[in-house]
Amino acid sequence: MLPLRWRRGTVALALTAAVLACADEPITTSALDPVDTTGPADPVQLPGTTQYTNPVYAGDFPDPYVLPVGSVYYAYSTNAGLRNVPTLRSSDLVNWEPVADALPVLPAWAEAGRRLTWAPAVLALEGGYLLLYTARDHRSGRQCIGRAESSTPTGPFTDGSGTPFICQADLGGSIDASVVRDSAGELYVIWKNDGNCCGQAVSLWSQRLSADGRTLLGLPVEILRQDQAWEGSLIEGPTMWEAEGTWHLLYSANRWNTDQYATGYAECDSPLGPCGKPMTTPLIASDAETSGPGGAEVFIDLEGHRWLAYHGWTAGQVGYRHGGARSLRIDRVELAGAQLLVLAPTATSQIIP
């Protein structure tokens, strides 16, 4: 993969032909880059630039969610070690330091000590912060979505509820919540029903959320189904945003502990759908350096640039039993006109604009 400063030129030259050949599909630069059999040269530090090389945090940090607060970035992940919601902090997106467990105590409805606290999403609201997370509901035995609050982005977040916030127990449970805000400031929560736990169909869902994040409004709407061969038995981990009049949806699919795990793409009419898949293959897939890129969340940096935070195994070390880690990676998401351009996965030096 060429460094970003060169790949921009490559994309510009190839974009017209690519759009004509496949006008309805987003583009990843891995399909456009020339093959370099000599390997990348040592990166040159340009004056006044910040560069990074993935992974930006080599430790285990699955399903990352990045939240800018003031001049600082906070990142949250699925449980690792003894922490339910591991949290990192960075001032530049390049250097990350562990902070704390944002959710050190699970609520009464959740089974503690099971290492089943997954896929956090954090939203800044007036007067505090909202954390959506997945945990095991001891009544239903399913993974369900909880809701916790804190006055600071690092927590501790607390959830005093007696039941999960979202739990489609009859559909296998509910996991992987993400929050969507439209141009009018309306909030929505999107998630996956965990049907693959028990031989049921798997879909992505959406529902209106009150302004304070405490109440679900209306009814849940099914917006996307698992229906393509590359997805295996499941889709999960949705993230959605609007740009240039189109709602873009990324999601993960296939088995998380294999190199078949990948990131798919859909376009939606609104946060409540309907959504359609313009591709029959993943948008972001394993390459020679990164395996199983997924668990993605989109965020906006302090300069207004859109990024994708995601996890991936280092190629050849897929799975914990092989010494692998789902490490934190970031890459740019851009638009070329109405065309989505995803600059991922990368494993060579990139520039932060």
Answer whether residue 273 shows pLDDT above 80.
yes
- Work out the average pLDDT over 81-99: 97
User: Which pairs with CB-CB distance under 8 Å and at least 24 residues apart come from 334-339?
Assistant: 334/306, 335/243, 335/244, 336/11, 336/15, 336/19, 336/27, 337/244, 338/244, 338/245, 338/246, 339/15, 339/19, 339/26, 339/27
Using the Cα atoms of residue 108, residue 162, residue 217 and residue 275 in order, give the sign of their dihedral. positive
| CATH of residue 70 | 2.115.10.20
Paired tokens of 15: 């974009």
Residue type, 187: L
Paired tokens of 42: 């040592």
Question: Which residues, 6 or more positions from 105, have their beta carbon under 8 angstroms from its beta carbon?
Answer: 156, 158
Q: Is residue 343 part of a domain?
A: no
**Residue 19 pLDDT grade (very low, low, confident, very high; cuts 50, 70, 90):** very low
Q: What angle do CA 315, 316, 321 make, to 5 degrees?
A: 115
Q: Is residue 114 part of a domain?
A: yes
Strands 97-101 and 86-90, bridge-based pairing: antiparallel
**In the prediction, which pLDDT does 336 show?**
85
Q: Is residue 20 part of a domain?
A: no
Q: Is residue 152 part of a domain?
A: yes
Nearest to 64 by CA among 95, 86, 82: 86
Q: Is residue 56 part of a domain?
A: no
Q: What is the pLDDT of residues 275-312, one digit of tens each?
A: 999 999 999 999 999 999 999 999 999 999 999 999 99
- Work out the average pLDDT over 5-22: 33
Paired tokens of 73: 């970035």
CB 140 within 8 A of CB 167: yes
Q: Is residue 337 part of a domain?
A: no
**In the prediction, which pLDDT does 298 show?**
98
Largest CA distance in the chain: 59
Q: What is the pLDDT of residues 47-72, one digit of tens each?
A: 456 899 999 999 999 999 999 999 99
**In the prediction, which pLDDT does 36 show?**
34
**In the prediction, which pLDDT does 244 show?**
87
Structural domains of the chain, count: 1
DSSP letters along 138-174, please?
A: TTT-SEEEEEEEESSTT---B---SS-SB--GGGTBE
Answer whether residue 112 shows pLDDT above 60.
yes
**Residue 27 pLDDT grade (very low, low, confident, very high; cuts 50, 70, 90):** low
| Host domain of residue 287 | 65-321
Q: What is the pLDDT of residues 145-204, one digit of tens each?
A: 999 999 999 999 999 999 999 999 999 999 999 999 999 999 999 999 999 999 999 999
Q: Is residue 277 part of a domain?
A: yes
Q: Is residue 326 part of a domain?
A: no
CB 296 within 8 A of CB 310: yes
Answer whether residue 7 shows pLDDT above 60.
no
Please state, for a pLDDT cut of 70, what percent of the chain lies above it: 86
Element (H, E) at 310: strand 306-314
In a 10 Å sphere around its CB, with 0-12 CB exposed, 13-18 middle and 19+ buried, how is residue 272 labelled?
A: buried
Determine the Cα–Cα distance for residues 160 and 35; give it in Å rounded to an integer.
54
Nearest to 57 by CA among 1, 12, 99: 99
